[in-house]
Amino acid sequence: MKEDNKFILQVDPHLTFNVNTQIKEQLKWLIGIGQIETGDMLPSASQLADELELNRNTINWVYSQLRDEGLVLMQKGRGTQITGGIEFKQLLEERKPMQQLLNDTIEAAAAMGFNMQSFFMAGLAYSLLHPPYPNVKLRISLVECKGHDHPFYRKSIESATQGEVETLFLEDLSGNEVAIREVVQRSHLIVTTLNHADEVKSLFARFDSKIMVIGATIEASLLLDIAKLKQGTRVAFVCLGKTGGEWMANRIREAGINQVEFETMGMNEHEDLNEELRHLDKIYASAAVYPELKKMLPDKTELFSMKLEKSSENLLQELVTQVTV
């Protein structure tokens, strides 16, 4: 913190939101309007606690929350410093135009004799009476691995929600704290599949993020077709990666179909897939790889047709109206 800057923080125990939040949001305003800049040091927790006549643990909580939001860096023995990362820049871009709007609103409300606390609490309540703006789409992040048919899940989610869906891969997110935080900040909802539910929940455990787990099933007609194959028919289940092919094969096992001999393969994991598939009798390809395999081996290749589980589709549709956008 620069010496010529002075904190003018206030706390009001009578407000309906707690003191911790009051302090955190005031500090975010000071950062957002440029009164606190990149590299500035915040007062020590004990110093700020004394000034505000609060418990030191309260200030520690505030600083920890600002750290988790990517706005400060806490270093033992050195203090709490404002960072200059993407979160800092986003806050500046958001708060400066917001400041002008609020200044105009406060000036107009004061001229009309309104009590500011009552005015803004009433304004918050009034905003809750209005539905989300129809021109703002739900932002959804699909987290999957590269081996499964993630294009199928993405299209299914887009169809169910009419939202904007981006696909992110576990292989890229694992161990990348910055990327994970950015996903949380830009997403209304994080969706993953049953295959990776535990991994994704673990990745986002420290964030207050809404995570939905969806599942897929295969078309009944496909099961009937495979069940009719002769004993010993040699079959391949092919997806983007071998893990996707194994998921496909497991659905057949679960259906009690055991008369076929099958292999599982990944389209992106074999240099000469054409040769490896020629000795097989039947190839079942996920939607993501079907066009290419059908072109290579048209007489053997069939689509492994899937659909989103009805419960997952219903839940996605319900969440569209529940998530604030």
* CA–CA separation, 26 and 41 (whole Å): 16
Q: Is the pTM higher than 0.75?
A: no
Q: Are strands 216-218 and 306-308 parallel, antiparallel or unpaired?
A: antiparallel
Residue 233, pLDDT > 70, answer: yes
| Residue 138 pLDDT class (50, 70, 90 cuts) | confident
pLDDT at 31: 92
Q: Which domains does the chain have, with CATH numbers?
A: 1-129 (1.10.10.10), 139-212+311-322 (3.40.50.1370), 218-308 (3.40.50.980)
Name the average pLDDT for the chain.
Answer: 87
Per-residue confidence (pLDDT) for residue 133, from 0 to 100: 53
**d(Cα 154, Cα 194) in Å, to the nearest integer?**
15
Examine the pLDDT at 72 and tell me if it is beyond 70. Answer: yes
What digits encode the pLDDT tens for the residues 162-208? 888 999 999 999 888 888 988 888 888 899 999 899 999 999 988 87
Q: Rounded mean pLDDT of 76-82?
A: 88
Mean pLDDT of 87-99: 87
pLDDT at 68: 85
Q: Tell which residue, 138, 308, 160, 147, has the closest CA to residue 237.
A: 147
Q: Is the pLDDT of residue 324 over 50?
A: no
Q: What distance in Å separates the CA atoms of residue 317 and residue 164, rounded to the nearest whole number?
A: 14
pLDDT at 132: 56
Averaged pLDDT, 20-38: 91
Contacts 24+ apart (CB under 8 A), 250-257: 251/217, 251/218, 252/223, 252/226, 255/223, 255/227, 257/223, 257/226, 257/227
Does 4 have pLDDT greater than 90?
Answer: no
**Above pLDDT 90, what percent of the chain?**
50
Instruction: Look at residue 2 in the predicted model and tell me its pLDDT.
Output: 43
